[in-house]
Amino acid sequence: MNILFVGDVFGSAGRHIVREHLPHVVESNAVDLLIINGENAAGGFGLTPSLAEDLFDLGAHVITTGNHIWDKREIFDYMSVPADSHDRPRRVLRPANYAHGTPGFGFYQGALADGTEYAVMNMQGRVFMSACDDPFRKADELLSKITAKVILLDIHAEASSEKVALGWYLDGRVTAVLGTHTHIPTADERILPMGTAYQTDVGMSGPYDSVIGVEKELVLQRFLTGMPGKFEAAKGNPKMCAALIHCDPTTGRAHHIQRIMLGE
């Protein structure tokens, strides 16, 4: 079974490059399960219902997100659906370790057309980030409820230490632990000893002639002066970053992980 996870789609450049490459990547790799992190799809900041629909139209089974999930308020209502729904809005996740009562859900369990069950968990780190619940214990809690063997975690976090630690913590208990949020792909993809695919950061799918997606002049101005200024999504040098995982659907253990970075 093949799983494709696409890193943070950033702005229109990110959406275009994903639209360009996804069909042939999915087809040529016989992708069964497609997950896309969409937290930056809307101009770099958040996700709207209509952009979520676009990502589902591209074939996404689940959309994960992160700290930018609430940037666009239209998404609040969209994500407010019953827990047992399997409709698209139920398959847009926010980190599971956000406060109780936050709109939406942090994990989803569904089944592919052939009946194979899968689950996706979304979590946020706590090091150098806003306060949220313990992602290690939240993972334990979610895993106790999940019956699927094929389980993927998007750990949206800043610190490499926290992501790596979570990878070891879940090794052998999930199919893949994939990091997002730094917007830079890491070259440490591997299968951990107990069969969990791991990569510290998948990297964004967006404009790489930028500072992690944003127009570089605007970010440089911020670093140089500390003064406010509107951040706008850059356009140049778009690349789609993704991780392709091959796993055994009966055990959920991963056999192979491949890093993908495709440009124009």
Q: Give the annotated binding-site residues for Fe cation.
A: 8, 39-40, 67, 156, 181, 183
* Cβ(31)–Cβ(25) below 8 Å: yes
* Cβ(174)–Cβ(143) below 8 Å: yes
Q: Which of 75, 123, 132, 178 binds a second copy (CB under 8 A)?
A: 132
* H/E segment holding residue 75: helix 74-78
Of 14-22, 31-39, 53-61, 92-100: span binding a second copy (CB under 8 A): 92-100
Whole-number Å distance between alpha carbons of 256 and 81? 35
* Cβ(176)–Cβ(154) below 8 Å: no
Of 11-19, 21-29, 48-56, 208-216: span binding a second copy (CB under 8 A): 208-216
Q: From a second copy, Fe ion, none, which one binds at residue 85 (CB under 5 to 8 Å depending on kind)?
A: none
20, 205, 263 from 213: Cα distances, Å: 18, 9, 14
Give the pairing of strands 190-191 and 197-199.
antiparallel
Tell whether residue 200 is a contact of Fe ion (CB under 5 A). Answer: no
Q: From Fe ion, a second copy, none, which one binds at residue 231 (CB under 5 to 8 Å depending on kind)?
A: none
- SS3 state of residue 29: coil
Closest Cα partner for 116 from 252, 257, 22, 253? 252
Tell whether residue 201 is a contact of Fe ion (CB under 5 A). Answer: no
- State which of positions 173-192 bind a second copy (CB under 8 A): 182-188
Q: Which of 12, 65, 67, 210 binds Fe ion (CB under 5 A)?
A: 67
| Nearer CB in complex with a second copy: 147/225 | 225
- Token output for 250: 């009966």
Secondary structure (DSSP) of 188-202? --EE-TTS-EEES--
Q: Which of 49, 160, 235, 258 binds a second copy (CB under 8 A)?
A: 160
Concerning whether 68 is annotated as a catalytic residue, the answer is yes
CB of 113 to a second copy, least distance (A): 33
Q: From a second copy, Fe ion, none, which one binds at residue 113 (CB under 5 to 8 Å depending on kind)?
A: none
Whole-number Å distance between alpha carbons of 211 and 6? 19
* Cβ(15)–Cβ(52) below 8 Å: no
The residue from 16, 21, 61, 68 that is catalytic is 68
CB of 191 to Fe ion, least distance (A): 25
Chain residues that interact with a second copy, rule: CB under 8 A:
70-71, 73, 98-102, 126-128, 130-134, 136-137, 158-162, 164-165, 168-169, 182-188, 193, 200-201, 203, 208-212, 216, 219-220, 223-228, 259, 261
